Amino acid sequence: MRLMFRDEARFGRISDTRYCWARRPMRPMVKARLTYQYTYAYGAVSPLDGKFDSLVLPLVNTECMQLFITEIGKRYPEENIVMVVDGAGWHKSKTFALPENLRRHFLPP
């Protein structure tokens, strides 16, 4: 049996308008187009042996979560995996096709 804890993290940038440096008395505003660009790192760690598995995916949703748990099931085909997850909505989807060797365990709220 393999116990794994998983979560995801967002990485990216947000651009906005800021003051820029200039000699006094000027304090010009630098205008920029507001940009939101993100990517998400899905990760799972097995604390008993320190193995860490991750995928970088474009979104955080049920479909990407499905890709991640399917991949984890394939990486450990001979082991029964208990994956501990938090209460995010995409972790609780009833449409998941869990691999035969993977079970989810939810943290209490």
68 within a domain of the structure (yes/no): yes
The closest of 67, 66, 62, 55 to 9, measured between CA atoms, is: 55
75 within a domain of the structure (yes/no): yes
Residue-number span of the structural domain to which 92 is assigned: 2-9+39-106
Longest dimension (CA), the chain: 70
91 within a domain of the structure (yes/no): yes
Tokens 């304090």 belong to: 27
pLDDT digits (tens, 9 = 90+) for 42-67: 999 999 999 999 999 999 999 999 99
pLDDT digits (tens, 9 = 90+) for 11-47: 887 666 666 677 778 767 666 666 778 899 999 999 9
51 within a domain of the structure (yes/no): yes
26 within a domain of the structure (yes/no): no
Q: What is the pTM of this model?
A: 0.78
What CATH number is attached to the domain comprising 48? 3.30.420.10
102 within a domain of the structure (yes/no): yes
Per-residue pLDDT, 108: 87
Higher-pLDDT residue of 36, 76: 76
